[in-house]
Chain A
């Protein structure tokens, strides 16, 4: 069966910067696929190539077997796109934005009206359909962009950080639509919310510096980490002092802090004793072994430093 998406050794260079570096990928139809990676990893660049907005420097990209460069128009008939930044038309009402999309896809007026009513209902904007999008909250605008991407029944849906800036309710609502769509289309999304990728996606690729680092289901990725040793450590006090100490220990591979609680990843079981020796037992309120989360995998693979 033709994969819904295929990238073959795709490279994109901006001057001397290689944003996407000989990237290859196949995504089967009906998958909810997540591309994860730190800021600047190249996620948006890949989406722009697949949606015919950007010409790759080298390599080929196919959507439903169609070449994005030579058969761009046919590709665009099949895709729906939610870009990272909302690009609604603020001079058109909510409903007019959707009507415009239907027109650009050559849909007939009768069909358009029915479809739009259905989508407005789905994203909960029926009551605001005659208002202009700049009177909407960020979450409402985002939901409208999602609805717009669905007007023409796309076969492949691209969502570039669909839930950024949404409250938990709206995020959950967006997840629900995405799940409800999965039978009829392939979904390609990027996100910085690990829990989202974990619970929603059938397959995850983590990338950095334009290259793929790992590929698999959330469970498989976490399994890779099961030999990593993640501990939760809580102090009665003096957490600042302990943080400094913990950061100086060479066998601690990563460290996150929330208040008095630390989450740390040791390089091996044998490091536990030197750890206890270093911090002593006096101030410890709690120490326990933790299941690795997708976030641990992500940090482990892409490092701790904040990207410029």
Chain B
């Protein structure tokens, strides 16, 4: 079973390699814009947040955001394209590999793209801005990124599987994905929410992702509860995605 998934993943990596440079340039543009606009443009207006300069506070969230939205985009568009436009999914389905191979291969392709793009943005932010982190904090941070990319890659795969029209995928991005990312701690800490809302916000998986990853990178604190929420979400998302894809293919 794994072999088929690996073949599909390898195909996606071959294609990615051909356009890697332009992909990376494109993916760095938007987080860097945010970074410059909010971090430097608004520098005089924003005080330190949670004891660190705002540019430092914001950097981990921007990197995480890039990784997970790249995972979502790649998975959603790639699944949609291969299913509706190129119909390569159908070509795969008349070979001995199973639908599980296909969906798992695709989820991991999205995941890999997310991880690569996250690294690219991290490198650029580190190089250009002199924000420095303790390398010992990196392992905990990467654990959050890995689970987060998995969740978003699964969500993207589900969209690409169920939605036939490209504009609907665009709407999901604008109405669900963007607000979910922006409101869960990329630009401000969850402690900004009113008391009444906070406990609700704390169990949202994206809060676990952004708060947890930032705390891991900046303070080196490894928040087990956040990581558990994220890991369980990733697992549930993975199983649900496989089931949904399998159902859709059996239609």
Instruction: Give A contacts to B, CB under 8 Å.
Output: 51-53, 55, 73-74, 76-77, 79, 81, 83, 85, 87-92, 96, 100-101, 103-106, 148
* Known contacts A91-B15, A92-B14, A101-B91, then 13 further A-B pairs from the complex at CB < 8 Å, ordered by chain A residue: A51-B94, A52-B94, A53-B94, A76-B94, A79-B94, A83-B87, A85-B87, A87-B88, A88-B88, A88-B91, A91-B18, A96-B14, A106-B3
12 A-B pairs in the complex with CB atoms less than 8 angstroms apart: A51-B94, A53-B94, A73-B98, A76-B94, A83-B87, A87-B87, A87-B91, A88-B86, A89-B91, A104-B96, A104-B97, A148-B91
In the bound complex, residues from chain A placing their C-beta under 8 Å from that of B88 are: 87-89
Residue of A nearest to B249 (CB): A53
B7 with A104: CB separation less than 8 A: yes
Q: B11: CB under 8 A from chain A?
A: yes
Docked Cα-Cα span, A51 to B96, in Å, equals: 11
**In the complex, are the beta carbons of B87 and A103 less than 8 A apart?**
no
- Set of chain B residues within 8 Å of A81, measured between Cβ atoms: 94
**Known A92-B11, A92-B14: A83·B90 in contact at CB below 8 Å:** yes
Across-interface contacts of B14 in A (CB, < 8 A): 92, 96
Q: Which of B1-38 contact A (CB under 8 A)?
A: 3-4, 7, 10-11, 14-15, 18
Task: Determine whether B198 belongs to the interface, using a CB cutoff of 8 Å to chain A.
Answer: no
Q: Are B86 and A89 in contact (CB under 8 A)?
A: yes
CB distance from B190 to the nearest CB of A (A): 41
Do the beta carbons of B96 and A77 come within 8 Å of each other?
yes
Distance (Å) between the CB of A146 and the closest chain B CB?
Answer: 13
Please, which residues of chain B bring their CB within 8 A of the CB of A52?
93-94
Cβ-based interface call for B224 (8 A): no
CA distance A79 to B93 in the complex (A): 11
The residue of chain A having its C-beta at the shortest distance from the C-beta of B97 within the complex is A104
Which B209-224 residues have a C-beta within 8 angstroms of A? none
CA A198 to CA B68, docked complex, whole Å: 57
In whole angstroms, what is the CA distance A228 to B10 when docked? 60
Binding site for A on B (CB under 8 A): 3-4, 7, 10-11, 14-15, 18, 86-88, 90-98, 250
Which of B18, B86, B92, B96 is packed against the most chain A CB atoms within 10 Å?
A: B96
CA distance A77 to B97 in the complex (A): 9
With a cutoff of 8 Å between Cβ atoms, the chain B residues found around residue A83 in the complex are 87, 90-91
CB-CB under 8 A from A105, the residues of chain B are 95-96
Cα of A89 to Cα of B18 in the assembled complex, Å: 15
Among the listed A55, A77, A106, which residue makes an inter-chain contact with B250, where contact means beta carbons less than 8 Å apart? Answer: A55
CB proximity of A132 to chain B, nearest CB, Å:
10
* A104 close to B92 (CB less than 8 A): yes
Beyond A89-B86, A92-B14, whether A100 also contacts B94 by CB under 8 A is no
- Quick one: given A53-B90, A87-B87, A100-B7, are A92 and B96 in contact (CB under 8 Å)? no
Closest beta carbon of chain B to A230's beta carbon, Å: 41
- CB-defined contacts of A90 to chain B, threshold 8 Å: 86
Quick one: which of B10, B90, B98 contacts A87, CB cutoff 8 A?
B90
B70 → A minimal CB distance (Å): 18
Task: Kindly list the 6 A-B residue pairs having the minimum CB-CB distance in the complex, ordered from nearest.
Answer: A104-B95, A87-B87, A103-B7, A81-B94, A91-B15, A87-B91
CA distance A77 to B90 in the complex (A): 15
Query: Residues of A contacting B4 with CB < 8 Å?
Result: 104
Q: Could you tell me the distance in whole angstroms from the C-beta of A300 to the nearest C-beta in chain B?
A: 35
Which A-chain residue is minimally distant from B98 (CB atoms)?
Answer: A73
- B residues within 8 A CB of A96? 14
Q: Smallest distance from the beta carbon of A74 to chain B beta carbons, Å?
A: 8
Residues of A within 8 A of B15 (CB): 91-92
Distance of A19 Cα from B125 Cα, bound (Å) = 58
Residue of B nearest to A89 (CB): B88
Residues of B within 8 A of A88 (CB): 86, 88, 91
The reply to whether A101 and B11 contact each other, CB–CB distance below 8 Å, is no
State how many angstroms separate the Cβ of B24 from the closest Cβ of chain A.
Answer: 18
Question: Which of B14, B92, B94, B250 neighbours the largest number of chain A CB atoms within 10 Å of its CB?
Answer: B94
Q: Which residues of A lie under 8 Å from residue B86 when comparing CB positions?
A: 87-90
Q: Chain B residues near A53 (CB, 8 Å)?
A: 90, 93-94
When distances are taken between beta carbons in the complex, the residues of chain B under 8 Å from A76 are: 94-96
Q: In the docked arrangement, what's the CA distance between A273 and B86, Å?
A: 58
**B96: contacting residue among A91, A100, A106, A148, CB under 8 A:** A106
Cβ–Cβ < 8 Å partners of B10 in chain A: 103
